[in-house]
Structure 1
Amino acid sequence: MDLGIAGRTALVCASSKGLGKGCAKALAEAGCRVIINGRTMASLEATADELRHSGADIIAIAADVGTPEGRQALLAAAGPVDILVNNNGGPPFRNFREVDRDAMIAGVDANMITPIELIKAVIDGMCERGFGRIVNITSSSVKAPIAGLDLSSGARAGLTAFLAGVARTVAMHNVTINQIMPGAFDTDRLKSNFERAAQSSGAPVDTVTASRRKAIPAQRFGTADEFGALCAFLCSTQAAYITGQSILIDGGAVVTTL
């Protein structure tokens, strides 16, 4: 299906690997000019080279999106942004009693304030041009909180609530704002979580991994390509009537009717 976004400029944060890379790949395949981002230039360039094989125009910017300087570098390289995919690593798994004030502020800054700052920087231009797609990668824990990920859940839920009203104020300009809530995906972050859980419990990593997989109705973990395909559709011309929504993609793990 032609998504109708060929030639559009897409800025995809934290996209050298994992779900961000999946989004960048899908948007590149749809014909977008894609600005990808990561902190390590080596892995970033490897991803850029991979994506360029499809003939896409890829610009790689090594920067920390969580800093004003990093955000400015991305925006300067992108120019007018048509599509913004907000993504950033979440706070580590931790008992809430161990989360001090500084950690809470850092978590909210990374997973709520940073994406809002980027949205503020691009949204007026989108409205003026009559096209804009903003997709925020949050987490299934926004809908079904997980003990130990309280700071991540809280900051991402705050982002979702903050943008719920904003989305309705720009919809008439063909600008949409949506969230994708991923469950368990086959990424480096998921593997590191399993390794940490194995160390804590004393169980083998394979046992921890198998137990988590079995708990998912689909009986498997998601792939970055599946996630990217959903992101690209939300950025398409066909998705213009979808806004202010949080879409769960988790293989059926969260039991809900809504």
Structure 2
Amino acid sequence: MNLGLKGRTAIVCASSHGLGRACAEALATAECTVVLNGRDADALAQTGDALRTHGGIVHTVAGDIAEEAVQQALVDAAGGAPDILVNNNAGPPLRDFRLLDADAIHAGVDANMVTPIRLVQKVIDGMVERRFGRIVCITSGSVKAPIAGLDLSSGARVGLTGFLAGVARQVAHANVTINFLLPGLFATRRLAGVHAYRAEANGISIDDAEARARDAIPARRFGDPAEFGNACAFLCADTSGFITGQSLLIDGGAYPGVL
């Protein structure tokens, strides 16, 4: 499928590993110029080299996207006029909500709500002027169905969704869309932490926790990050301009509801 993205420029935050990297790979395959970001400069460089094998142009900006200088460096690396922004950031570690102090709560909200909003503010007016823009925010399946231990992550990401849902309606007339991707359990580094938390909480082995998690998914497997990346690229496609303000849950059928 031709997504109509050849020559477009995409910023993909937190993209040296996991779902962010999968989104960057899918956009590079669609012939976008991709600006990668990550805190680990070595891992970021390796990801950049891997994506260049697709034949596209890849830039890298190392650093924490919560920092103003890093945010500006990402925009500058995209020539000051990115067509696509994929908001992504690591969520806080799984933790009982009783153990969260004020600093931890503020840090979680800043990372998973404030920072992506600030990035949207930096790029959206240019998108409106050029009459093309695609913003995809990676949140979590816990936005749809809260998960014990992810209370801080869920709260911050629900806040982000609510904030940008209104913004999406303000810019839709200019062919600028804002959508949300809600991952369930995917085979990434974070999954190991999920299994460890559930094993301790339930007094079982990590292997048993992994088996229970897999068995609870109707697809009977964990997600392949490439599947997630392809969904991201589809939402960014030139022909996806009538999809906006939506939250797409990708969880192998784990969520039991119909809405």
Partner of 1:149: 150
Partner of 1:22: 22
Q: Which amino acid is 2:31 matched to?
A: G
1:238 CA displacement:
1.6
Q: Which amino acid is 1:156 matched to?
A: R
Is 1:127 the counterpart of 2:128? The answer is yes
Give CA-to-partner distance per residue, 1:69-89, whole Å, 9 cap, x none.
221221221221100000001
Partner of 1:205: 206
1:193 CA displacement:
2.2
1:200 CA displacement:
5.1
| Residues 94 and 197, structure 2, Cα contact 8 Å, conserved in 1 | no
Q: Distance in 2 between matches of 1:17 and 1:246?
A: 23
Secondary structure of 1:156's partner? helix
Structure 2, unaligned runs of 5 or more = none
Superposed CA RMSD:
1.1
Partner of 2:220: 219
**TM-score normalised by length of structure 1:** 0.97
Give CA-to-partner distance per residue, 1:78-127, whole Å, 9 cap, x none.
22110000000111111111111111111110000000000000000000
Matches within 5 A, 1:1-258: 1-79=1-79, 80-199=81-200, 201-258=202-259
Q: Distance in 2 between matches of 1:204 and 1:256?
A: 30
| Residues 38 and 44, structure 1, Cα contact 8 Å, conserved in 2 | yes
| Residues 9 and 34, structure 1, Cα contact 8 Å, conserved in 2 | yes
Secondary structure of 1:10's partner? strand
Greater mean deviation of Cα atoms: 73-82 or 84-93: 73-82
Identity across matched positions, percent? 59
Runs (4+) off by over 6 Å:
none
Q: Which amino acid is 1:252 matched to?
A: G
**TM-score normalised by length of structure 2:** 0.97
Q: Which amino acid is 2:233 matched to?
A: A
Greater mean deviation of Cα atoms: 108-117 or 70-79: 70-79
1:199 CA displacement:
4.7
Q: Distance in 2 between matches of 1:168 and 1:46?
A: 38
Give CA-to-partner distance per residue, 1:16-40, whole Å, 9 cap, x none.
0100000000000000000011111
